[in-house]
Homo-oligomer: A and B are copies of this chain.
Amino acid sequence: MTRAHRHIDDDIDAVRSLVLKMSGYVEASVESAVQALNEKNSSKFELVFEYEKKINECQIEVDQLCLHILGTQNPLAKDLRLILAIIKINTDLERMGDQAKNIAHHGKSYLEHSSQLALTPDLKHMAGIAREMIRDAMIAFTKRNEELAKEVLLKDDSVDELKRKINKSMIEIMKSKPGAVEGAIAQMSISRNIERLADHATNICEDVVFLRTGEDIRHSHQG
């Protein structure tokens, strides 16, 4: 061993592992929600509710571990920044679980009215980009890859653009086809939830940049 083994490293490894486990649940939850929609298989939404419970349990455990590390190990500099980043990423992951749950609720409502109005391909496209963003945000966190984090930030614009496009087309549909109102509202709601999933992925990437550089880029990389 070239340097002394530090107790704090074990604690940090433990909390990092838990965050990765939590992000795995988030990814699986979003995947289940999107599959349920694509396959018109309402029972698959139940998985989302199961994952959300696990995510909430992880959230509480991550916060307890961070509090423990801060209270007993006196982390400094790089370690302290990592703990603060994890506290924030934890909040984002928990809210992503909520967003997946919202997709499941609106998705169930959509499937009840899907005979009125087909699922727009833009929604699948948007969900695909958001899922890539979530996956890459967590890879960027794990590998401390600032470049990858910045690539994810750039993808957020196309998600926002797709949301605007979906909103516009759903409003036109509702005006011309009153029977399609519920199906259109559900799709608008799902697109909003996907947009928020992507926003949380960008929050995580901002934390990764902060972790690498100590620079706070929130409110600066967007217009």
Q: Footprint of B on A, CB under 8 Å?
A: 56, 59-60, 63-64, 66-67, 70-71, 74-77, 80-81, 84, 87-88, 91, 171, 174-176, 178-179, 181-182, 185, 188, 216, 218-219
Set of chain B residues within 8 Å of A84, measured between Cβ atoms: 63, 66-67, 70, 87
Q: Could you list some 17 contacts between A and B, CB below 8 A?
A: A56-B218, A56-B219, A59-B218, A60-B219, A64-B216, A67-B80, A70-B70, A71-B76, A74-B74, A87-B88, A88-B91, A91-B91, A171-B181, A174-B178, A175-B178, A175-B181, A176-B178
Q: Complex: how many Å from CA A182 to CA B174?
A: 10
Set of chain B residues within 8 Å of A219, measured between Cβ atoms: 56, 59-60
Q: Complex: how many Å from CA A65 to CA B88?
A: 16
Which one of B59, B81, B188 contacts A67 once the chains associate, using CB atoms below 8 Å?
B81
Q: Complex: how many Å from CA A12 to CA B64?
A: 22
Set of chain B residues within 8 Å of A171, measured between Cβ atoms: 181-182, 185
In the complex where A56-B218, A84-B87, A218-B56 touch, is A71 in contact with B77 (Cβ < 8 A)? yes
Set of chain B residues within 8 Å of A174, measured between Cβ atoms: 174, 178, 181
Which one of B74, B87, B181, B218 contacts A87 once the chains associate, using CB atoms below 8 Å?
B87
Q: Complex: how many Å from CA A91 to CA B56?
A: 18
Find out whether the CB atom of B80 lies under 8 angstroms from the CB atom of A70.
yes
Q: Complex: how many Å from CA A216 to CA B63?
A: 10
In the complex, what residue of chain B is closest to A203 when comparing beta carbons? Answer: B91
Q: With A67-B81, A67-B84 given, name 15 new contacts (CB 8 A).
A: A60-B219, A63-B216, A66-B84, A70-B80, A70-B84, A71-B76, A71-B80, A171-B181, A171-B182, A174-B174, A174-B181, A175-B178, A176-B178, A178-B178, A185-B188
